[in-house]
Amino acid sequence: MIEVEGLTKRFVDRDVVADVSFFVPEGEVLGFLGPNGAGKTTTMRMITGYLAATAGRVRVAGHSLETDPLAVRASIGYLPENVPLYPEMRVEEYLRFRAAVEGIPRKLIRSRLDEVVERCLIAEVRRQVVGTLSKGYRQRVGLAGALIHKPPVLVLDEPTVGLDPRQIVKVRELIAELGREHTVILSTHILPEVEQICRRVLIIDGGRLVADGTPEELRGALLGDAELHLELDAPQAEATVALRMLDGVGEVKTESDGTFRLVLEGAVDPRRQVFELVVARGWTLMEMARSVPSLEDVFLRLTTRDAAADEEAENTRKKAVADNEEAIEEVGYGQ
């Protein structure tokens, strides 16, 4: 549904987005994850055609952005960051305007309007002036505007920013529901959001794609397996050997405070065996906890890297990002 190939955006002499390629099949909800200033918005703007790419190709719903930009624009429903709306218009008036600009025939506008108003739960404010709406309603009105022409693709740039927790839940539910009928690209820097609604995640950092996969794949591939944390009252050497012999335990590490860290392998859960072993040897078990790496760990590892290993590289990157933001500010691109 969405094909992006070698997409690059150069501002002044730095690549804000560098050689980004990915493919989104129909019906997928893709999370676009990255720290602030990583190039998420820039990438989305290039996909929607608002920003011309320095290099690379974009195809949406079979149309090439280069040769048929209007067809690409017609197949995308786009909700930019900060949800720009016309403050002087009434909600219904605004949605009618969006519908007309999207080329919906006059006779169909009424029914489409009723549909999106109901779907985005904005019936109670449909006669209200946009400028007087709360942030949560603004977000939903923007979403309704992006949906009004039933686009096959939805591009949502940070759709839950600035909402209160209850509104965030509502908007997420709505997006998850939309994912059943539309192909969705969603950018965010909030991790639980991605884990909840996205089937696939792209992580972008410093303008480059650093990871691509389902949340589970990313966890497994990038952080290894789960770990078991043990606090035992037992002779250390003996316990290390015995624990190592258990099924499903890959490696046993002893920490300086006398606790054990067991790296788990495969699908076997060795907790029962650990307990039985402890009882059989007459040791005392003070604590046992299993930890599964969260997407947060993956994200932090990917986007901050090993501080000791390449602190310098990191500083350079940060400076580049800061300079980019400055450059972007200068050309009046950021908000």
Partner 1 sequence: MGSKLFALVRRELGAYFSSPLAYVVLTACTVVNGWVFFLIVSYLNDPRTAPMAAFKLLFGGTIFFWLLLLFVLPVITMRLLAEERRSGTLEVLLTAPVTEFQVILGKFLASLVFYLFLWLPTLAHVALLARYSPLEWGPVVAGYLGVALLGSMFLSMGLLTSALVRNQIVAAVFAFALLVVVFSLGLVEGLVTAPTWKGVLSHMNLWSLMDDFSRGLVDTRWVIYPLSVTGLFLFLATKALEASKGR
Does residue number 165 form part of the binding site for partner 1 (CB under 8 A)?
no
Burial of 237 (0-12, 13-18, 19+ CB in 10 A): exposed
CB nearer to partner 1: pick between 52 and 300: 52
Min dist CB 191 to partner 1, Å, is 26
34-93 residues near partner 1, rule: CB under 8 A: 45, 48-52, 70-71, 73-74, 76, 78, 80, 82, 84-89, 93
Among 100, 241, 292, 313, binds partner 1 (CB under 8 A): 100
- To partner 1, the closest distance from the beta carbon of 157 in angstroms equals 10
Q: How far apart are CA 221 and CA 225, in angstroms?
A: 8
**Closer to partner 1 at the Cβ: 73 or 305?**
73
Cβ neighbours of residue 17 closer than 8 Å, sequence gap 6 or more: 7, 8, 9, 39, 42, 43, 46, 204, 207
Q: Binding to partner 1 by residue 185, rule CB under 8 A?
A: no
Q: By CB under 8 A, which span of 17-25, 102-110, 181-189, 310-318 interacts with partner 1? A: 102-110
Locate 155 and state its tokens.
Answer: 């591009």
Q: By CB under 8 A, is residue 245 in contact with partner 1?
A: no
User: Binding-site residue total for partner 1 (CB under 8 A)?
Assistant: 33
The token pair that represents 108 in the structure block: 């169909």
* Residue 126 near partner 1 by CB under 8 A: no
Pair 99, 175: CB distance under 8 Å = no
> What is the CB neighbour count within 10 angstroms for residue 266?
11
CA distance 154 to 182: 7
- 3-state DSSP call for residue 212? strand
Q: Is residue 275 at the binding interface for partner 1, with CB under 8 A as the rule?
A: no
Using CB under 8 A as the criterion, which residues of the chain lie in contact with partner 1 when the complex forms? 45, 48-52, 70-71, 73-74, 76, 78, 80, 82, 84-89, 93, 97-98, 100-103, 106, 145, 331-333, 335
